[in-house]
Amino acid sequence: MATLSASPAPAEPGVPAAGFFRRRRRALRLMTIPALAIVAAVIVFPWLFTVYMSAFDWRIGSVAHFVGLANYVSLASNQRFLEAIGHTFYFTALAVVVPLLLGTAAALVFHREFKGRGVLRAIFTMPMMATPVAVALVWTMMFHPQQGVLNYLLTSVGLPPSLWVYSPTFVIPSLVMVEVWHWTPLVMLIVLGGLASLPTEPYESARLDGATEWQLFRHITFPLVLPFLLVAAVIRTIDAVKAFDTIYVISQGGPGTASETINLYLYLQAFAFYNIGNASAVVVVFFVIILALALLLLYVRQRAKWSA
């Protein structure tokens, strides 16, 4: 609309220009209504309805009672829910940082020219293309403490076997391992894109000035690919926070509740216990957490831009 009014078409003789554009603007405004209606129907309404439902004690099949903020109050003292928040942060932190480090390292390797680079790069990106549930099922078999291939590999090099996802202590790091295997290639692709767009001149002049490889990375490569790393971090964070399929298939939140993230807890409340009121409250709390996380990432990204 701004472009239209900034460069008006020549007015035809006999038609007052201002009236034409006013009519046109009205028409354009009308045209946004379907889109707004759809957004209202599929985003705004469900969201408001969820907030509304969170004020009720309602299980499917029974009568709903208005309870105000009682669902939130009980969540605040619900040890299992609080632990689930902790598990979500622990899982997310590991599932973002590790793929970022490994993906960047892999991108630096694949950015160099060497024989067979194309083939190796293609192989490296393959995990990303696999279906998460299929991946999770294969890893479940590999994690089996007695018959899994992972313990076979450990013992064949003289290391003691691990319990992997069958141990409350190792379950989250083991689940992160699956995420790392699955999603490091994505980070690599993003960073590789960043590296390909870098100018070569700063490197040439730095080399002439006698900079070491580390100094080249630290002072030229890293600051220049930082915006790409942040994009990768945002995508990974979103993926990790919403991770469900892998965890549900491999550990179902167990042993006990050792790997129960907010998503798993929410699924149980909503679709196993049909406890809709409580589940809605969980969704609202989860939304606030995600919003805070998104704002934090946006802030970091803006800061990186300012300092660049």
Partner 1 sequence: MTDRTNSTHPDALRRRLLQAGAGAAALGALPAGVPAAMAQAPFDWKRFKGEKIEVFLVKSPRGDLLTKYHKEFEDLTGITVGSEMVPEQQQRQKAVIEFNSGNPSFDVIALSYHVQKRQFAKNNWMSDLRPFLNDKSMTTPDLDFADFAKGGLFYAVETDGRVMSLPLNLDPWVVYWNKELFAAKNLAFPKTFAEMVDSAAKLNDPSKGVSGFVARGLKNANVPVWSSFLLGYGGSFIDANGKLLTDTPEAIEAGRMYQTLLAKSGPQGVAGFNWNESQSLFVQGKAAMWLDGIGFAQPLEDPAKSRIVGKVGYGVMPAGPKAQVSALFADGEGISAQSKKKGPAWFYLQWASNKANQTRMLQAAAGAPVRNSAYAAAQQSSDFKAPKEWVECMLKSASIAQPGLPVIAPVTEFRDVFGVALTNMINGADPAAELKKATAEFQPVLDKSEKA
The site for partner 1 (CB under 8 A) is made up of: 59-63, 144-147, 161, 163-168, 171, 251-257, 268, 271-275
Name which of 222 and 274 has its Cβ closer to partner 1: 274
CA max distance for the chain: 93
Q: Is the peptide bond before 255 cis (omega within 30 degrees of 0)?
A: yes
Name which of 40 and 134 has its Cβ closer to partner 1: 134
d(CA 107, CA 102): 9
Burial of 216 (0-12, 13-18, 19+ CB in 10 A): middle
CB of 287 to partner 1, least distance (A): 23
CB contact at 8 A, 263 and 243 = yes
Name which of 172 and 191 has its Cβ closer to partner 1: 172
Name which of 171 and 186 has its Cβ closer to partner 1: 171
CA dist 135 to 17, 180, 238, Å? 63, 12, 19
The angle, 0 to 180 degrees and rounded to 10, between the axes of the packed helices 276-307 and 79-111 is 40
Name which of 80 and 117 has its Cβ closer to partner 1: 80
Number of H helices, E strands in the chain: 15, 2
Name which of 99 and 253 has its Cβ closer to partner 1: 253
CB of 65 to partner 1, least distance (A): 9
CB of 106 to partner 1, least distance (A): 31
CB of 306 to partner 1, least distance (A): 48
Q: Beta partners for 56? A: 66
CB of 141 to partner 1, least distance (A): 9
Q: Beta partners for 57? A: 65
Residue 228 has which token pair?
């790409």
CB of 166 to partner 1, least distance (A): 3
| Element (DSSP H or E) covering residue 22 | helix 17-39
CB of 75 to partner 1, least distance (A): 15
Name which of 145 and 173 has its Cβ closer to partner 1: 145
Cα angle value 106/109/110 (rounded, 5°): 85
Name which of 125 and 257 has its Cβ closer to partner 1: 257
| Element (DSSP H or E) covering residue 292 | helix 276-307
- The backbone torsions φ and ψ at residue 59, rounded to the nearest 5 degrees and listed phi first, read -110, 140
CB of 67 to partner 1, least distance (A): 12
Residue 146 has which token pair?
């007695």
d(CA 27, CA 187): 44
Name which of 62 and 200 has its Cβ closer to partner 1: 62
CB of 172 to partner 1, least distance (A): 13
